[in-house]
Each structure stands twice: as structure tokens, then as C-alpha cells.
Structure 1
Amino acid sequence: MEYSSIGIKLKDLRQYYGVSQRELAKDICSQKAISKIERGESQPTAEMLHQLALRLGVEISYFFEEHDAPRFNYIQETKDRIEELVTNWKYEEALDIIREELKNPLFRKPTHRKFLLWQRSICHFYVTDEKEDAIELLKVSMDIETNSKKTISTVDIAMQMSLGNMYSDIQNYELALYYYEEALRMSKKLPAYRSNPPMIKIYYNLSLVYYRMHEFEKAIKVASEGIDLNYKKNSVFLLGEFYYQRGISLFYFGRINEALQDIKKALFIFKERGQSVFYNFVELNFLRFQRASNALIKE
């Protein structure tokens, strides 16, 4: 691989975040070494590149073409497994792995420990009644510094969203909104190629919280922004969920015909994507809203 490619990517990301060569190099290498790497005159060592990636809030694979990216190692495979278990609500199984890996020397680096404590806080939140303890553990993990304060990583944003989710689940909607809005602010500062999925998910969570607070007009507005972002980015990520969320908010806001149209769109998307569980749930609510609409017409 051309060393100049690494240098170009390094320089682009450094300048995007407004980090000087001296700031980037601190405790890693010399400013002169950064300059040589960016000009393609020098090759960074694997450890140096790893440290630079951490400081800039990206994975080391960012600097490589897809076919050159290193194979997942044990640490990455373990992280992927934990995330898969947590995503599928298998919290006890995830906790078993986390407890073991917290004793593993391979996970002593701040970035890995931060990840483990973050995932542990999520599991603890959902398998115990100690909600506040789980929230405090998440805040402790967020305080672990792994990159330059000027840069933002998708992990930083995801942790803000996790905190928003926890506060939403315990019905502290004001704090949930605060952390979702902070996540959105951070997401907007990411380079465009990295910001799409986080922003779309944040818009959905914000709309859901506004709906739960019965602020239906705000829920409609945010859901509409999420739908527009999907179309702008040629994405269908959470598109069915957005249409359903906007539809039920429109219904309770009194715009019943528009609500039914949105819920029909959600049903079409869920059917096309083979999401039968979502389809069946939404269909039941569509029929319920339709009956309510017919009753209003008769009156």
C-alpha cells in the first residue's frame, strides 16, 4: 500500500478537527514525524498508527483500503460478540464475557476498558433494579479519555445515546432529551461519511421521546427530519419505524388521514423487508386507528 495514502487520510482528518501536528504527536512521536508521514516520506509503525487513530477517534482500518484492512483480531471479535449479544437482549451471556475480559491483560488499554464498562452498564441496567448504579457506571466509562478532546468518535456518540435510552426507560424524559440532543450535536460534527447512521437513529429516539411526552407536534417534526435524511442519503435505515412513529403522532395530534397514510407506508416497508414482527404489530394498530377514524366520521 502507498504510504502517501495513509498520510493523506491522516492530514485530512487532523485538519478537519483542527488539531495541529504538535497536538496530534504529543506523547506518541515528534511533530516532525507527523509531517513526514503526511508527506508520504515516512512509514508509521503499527503501534504509532494505532495511537494516532485513537487520538483522532477512528479505527486503524480507516487508514487502509478495504482489501488491505487487517483481519479482526481477538479483541475486535470479542467486542463484536458482546455487541451482538447486547443488541439481542442476551444481557446475562454478555455479562459473563465482560467479567472475564475485564481481567484480560489485552483489554487493559483505555479504549478497550471503556468499551467493556459501557456494555456492562447497559447489561446491568436491564438485568437489575439498580438503574441509577448502571447510569453512574456509564458516566464513569464516558470519562475515560481515549482520543483528543477536539475529536469525536462514533463510540462517544453511541454512549450519549445509551445514556439517553436509560433516562427514557426510567421516564426521565427531560434528561433523555438532553443526551439525545448532545448526541445529535456531536454527530453533526463528524465527517459526512461517518455521520449518517448515528444521526438517523438519534432523530428516531428524539421523536419517540417527544411522543412519550405527548409533545406530538415536535415528534412529527423530528420524525419528518429523519425521513428527509433517509431520502437525502438514499437510505432505508429505520424508515418504516419513522413512518409509523410519525403516523401515530399525527393520529394523536388530530391529523387522522395523514396518520393512516404514514402507517400504510410503514406497513409497505416492513412487508417488503420481511419484518413480519413489526408488520403484524403495526397492522393491529392500523386497524385500531382505522376503526377510530370511522367512528369519528359517523359521529
Structure 2
Amino acid sequence: MKEYNIGEKIKELRLSLEISQNDLAKQICEPQDLEKIEKGDEYPTLPQLHTLAKRLGIPITYFFETNWNQNVDYVNSVKTLMRNYARDREYKALYEIVKREEQSDLFRDKLNKQFLMWHEGICVYHVDKNKGRSLEMLYDALKITNREMNDFTEDEIQIMHSIGVIYFLSDDVEKALNIYREALNALEEMYNVADTKVYLRVVYGLSLALLRLQKYDECLKYSNLGLGMCISEDILYLFAEFHYQIGHCLVKLGDPSEGLEYLNKASTLFNTQVNLKMEEIVKEETIKLLNESLGNL
């Protein structure tokens, strides 16, 4: 593998993304082993290489290509890193990357500029606590590629989802619900949705807003839709969350026995995912819901 300069490629990409050896090596190998790999003194195992590629946001084929487009590779790696930070709610770190890349010529084209503005809008809400400016930026990001605000693409629907999240978190739940409905309608008009997770995120946001508004019948409908999609696509993304919402709705609709089955399944799933915070929340909510149910008898 020496002719492919794998260690050198790992180091160059790690440094360009400003990731430390300690952070990149976590749960893959010891930092000193990563240092040896980068120097070419050792070679990573294939499982290690797969995990390193995933963490760096690149396909494993990158390490074996000699004519890889470095600019495209860098942009895609940065985007993957930004989405990971957004997913993990590391908004300050995300904000730093956005500000850095705004100065880069690689992010000046329409789609990459939109991507940066989308994530800056998210950061403005979570870091600067400025809802108005955040929503303004997100709507402006949408208009970069869709001034008419119709016939949305999947990328545009992801921005709409972020708008819905901000309305929801700021307790403007009715507006969030309207955004999610519009996004779901746009997805259902598509011939094919490439990323199932986009569909699931929108359905989950919609059902969560309905739950907050105590529209339990409709919430149950969309939660079952989301769960059915998870099962048909064999994907665990939001699988536990849909179980929780179905259980919550069933208890509220007067079926505590079946509701408890879903709530217990949700708790078990969160435990399997080592999401102890959500597991504890589900347990607390289960007790609360059942007490309310018994009190209404």
C-alpha cells in the first residue's frame, strides 16, 4: 500500500480539517499508532481504514486513487464534517468552520454558498440566540436556488426542515407544523427520494409538532408512517423516537396497554443505542403518562 501514500493522505486531510490526532484516533487506534500510520511506518487494517475514511468524510477509494480531484474531495469532507457537527449539536465548532470557509474560493459557487448560509443560519439561532436573523438567513439560503419557493429539491427541503426546527424550538409550533406539511408535500410529489433520512426527518418533525399541539390521532398516523418507512427501508434512524411517539399517543387516546408496549420498546432501543439521556426521558414520561391515564379512570 506504500505506493498510494495512505498515511500522507490521512495526515493532509486531517490537517486541512483541523482535526487533532487524538480526535481522529478515538475508538479506532491509539494516537501514537495513528502517528506511525501517517509517517508510513505502519499500515492501517482494512476496518481501521474504513472507519478513518468515514470520520474524514471521504469514500475509502480516496486512499487508492492517484488522480483524485483534491478540491472536490476537500469540499465534500468539510460538508460531511459540518453535518456531523450539526447532528451532534456542536454548534460553536460548526460556526467556526462556517466562518473559515466563507473566506474560501471553494465555497463561492451557488450550491456551496447555499450550504454555508444554511449552516450559518442554524448557528445564528443556537449560538447567537437570534431567531429573526437565523430565519432570515435560512430563507435567503433557499432563495439562492429557488426564488419562486416551489418545486423544492431534497437539499432545499433540508433547509425547510431547519426552518421548521427553529420555529418549533422557539414555541411557534403552528408555523413549524405548516413548514413540515409543506416539506412533506414536496417530498411526496417527487418521483424518487434519494435520501430516506430526509423523508424521515420531515415526518418526525411533523409528528412531533402534532404531539406538542395534542393532535394525537394525526400524530399517531404520521408516527406509524415513519415507523413503517424505517421497517421497509431496514433503517434504525429515528426508529426509537417513532416508537416513543406512538406509545405516547396510544396512552393519550385511551389505550395504555398497547401504548406501554411501544414505550418499553422505545426505552430498550435507546438503551441499545447507548442513548442513556433519551432512555431516562422515556422512562420518566412513561410513568407520568400512566399516572395521568390511571387518574382519568
Could you tell me the TM-score, scaled by structure 2's length?
0.69
User: Quick one: distance in 2 between partners of 1:264 and 1:197?
Assistant: 24
In the other structure, the counterpart of 1:94 is 94
User: Quick one: distance in 2 between partners of 1:247 and 1:158?
Assistant: 27
User: Quick one: distance in 2 between partners of 1:177 and 1:101?
Assistant: 33
In the other structure, the counterpart of 1:50 is none
Contact 1:111 1:146 in 2 (8 A): no
In the other structure, the counterpart of 1:200 is 200
Q: Relative to structure 1, is the Cα distance of residues 263 and 139 closer, same or farther in structure 2, using a 3 angstrom cutoff?
A: same
User: Quick one: distance in 2 between partners of 1:240 and 1:106?
Assistant: 39
In the other structure, the counterpart of 2:142 is 142
Contact 1:188 1:195 in 2 (8 A): no
Q: Residue by residue, what CA displacement relative to the aligned partner does 1:87-112 show, whole Å, maximum 9, x if unpaired?
A: 22222222122112112111110111
In the other structure, the counterpart of 1:5 is none
Identical counterparts, % of pairs: 22
> SS in structure 2 opposite 1:194?
coil
User: Quick one: distance in 2 between partners of 1:194 and 1:70?
Assistant: 25
Q: Residue by residue, what CA displacement relative to the aligned partner does 1:213-253 show, whole Å, maximum 9, x if unpaired?
A: 11112111111111122222232221111010121122223
In the other structure, the counterpart of 2:245 is 245
In the other structure, the counterpart of 1:210 is 210
1:114 is displaced (CA, Å) by 0.5
Gaps of 5+ in 1: 1-60, 62-66
In the other structure, the counterpart of 1:110 is 110
With a CA cutoff of 8 Å and minimum separation of 6, indicate the structure with the bigger relative contact order: 1
- What is the letter of the counterpart of residue 173 of structure 2? Y
- What is the letter of the counterpart of residue 222 of structure 1? Y
In the other structure, the counterpart of 2:285 is 285
Q: Relative to structure 1, is the Cα distance of residues 149 and 127 closer, same or farther in structure 2, using a 3 angstrom cutoff?
A: closer
In the other structure, the counterpart of 2:80 is 80
In the other structure, the counterpart of 1:45 is none
1:196 is displaced (CA, Å) by 2.0
User: Quick one: distance in 1 between partners of 2:289 and 2:174?
Assistant: 29
Q: Give runs of aligned pairs for residues 40-189 of structure 1, distance below 5 A.
A: 73-145=73-145, 152-189=152-189
User: Quick one: distance in 2 between partners of 1:275 and 1:198?
Assistant: 22
Contact 2:151 2:186 in 1 (8 A): no
In the other structure, the counterpart of 1:35 is none
Q: Residue by residue, what CA displacement relative to the aligned partner does 1:103-153 show, whole Å, maximum 9, x if unpaired?
A: 211111011110001100000011223211110111011100289999753
Q: Relative to structure 1, is the Cα distance of residues 147 and 167 closer, same or farther in structure 2, using a 3 angstrom cutoff?
A: closer
Q: Residue by residue, what CA displacement relative to the aligned partner does 1:187-217 show, whole Å, maximum 9, x if unpaired?
A: 2244436152211221111110001111112
Aligned residue pairs total 232
Contact 2:230 2:236 in 1 (8 A): yes
User: Quick one: distance in 1 between partners of 2:68 and 2:233?
Assistant: 28
In the other structure, the counterpart of 1:42 is none
User: Quick one: distance in 2 between partners of 1:119 and 1:139?
Assistant: 12
Q: Relative to structure 1, is the Cα distance of residues 152 and 291 closer, same or farther in structure 2, using a 3 angstrom cutoff?
A: closer
- What is the letter of the counterpart of residue 203 of structure 1? V
Q: Residue by residue, what CA displacement relative to the aligned partner does 1:141-172 show, whole Å, maximum 9, x if unpaired?
A: 11002899997532111011011111111222
User: Quick one: distance in 2 between partners of 1:94 and 1:100?
Assistant: 10
Contact 2:187 2:193 in 1 (8 A): no
- What is the letter of the counterpart of residue 255 of structure 1? D
Q: Residue by residue, what CA displacement relative to the aligned partner does 1:237-292 show, whole Å, maximum 9, x if unpaired?
A: 21111010121122223322222121012123223333333222212322344455
Q: Relative to structure 1, is the Cα distance of residues 147 and 169 closer, same or farther in structure 2, using a 3 angstrom cutoff?
A: closer
Q: Relative to structure 1, is the Cα distance of residues 78 and 217 closer, same or farther in structure 2, using a 3 angstrom cutoff?
A: same
User: Quick one: distance in 2 between partners of 1:285 and 1:70?
Assistant: 51
Q: Residue by residue, what CA displacement relative to the aligned partner does 1:31-75 show, whole Å, maximum 9, x if unpaired?
A: xxxxxxxxxxxxxxxxxxxxxxxxxxxxxx9xxxxx999676111
In the other structure, the counterpart of 1:26 is none
> SS in structure 1 opposite 2:145?
coil
Q: Relative to structure 1, is the Cα distance of residues 215 and 264 closer, same or farther in structure 2, using a 3 angstrom cutoff?
A: same
- Whether 1:227 and 2:208 are equivalent positions in the alignment is no
User: Quick one: distance in 2 between partners of 1:77 and 1:211?
Assistant: 36
Could you tell me the TM-score, scaled by structure 1's length?
0.69
User: Quick one: distance in 2 between partners of 1:140 and 1:157?
Assistant: 14
> SS in structure 2 opposite 1:254?
coil
Contact 2:85 2:91 in 1 (8 A): yes
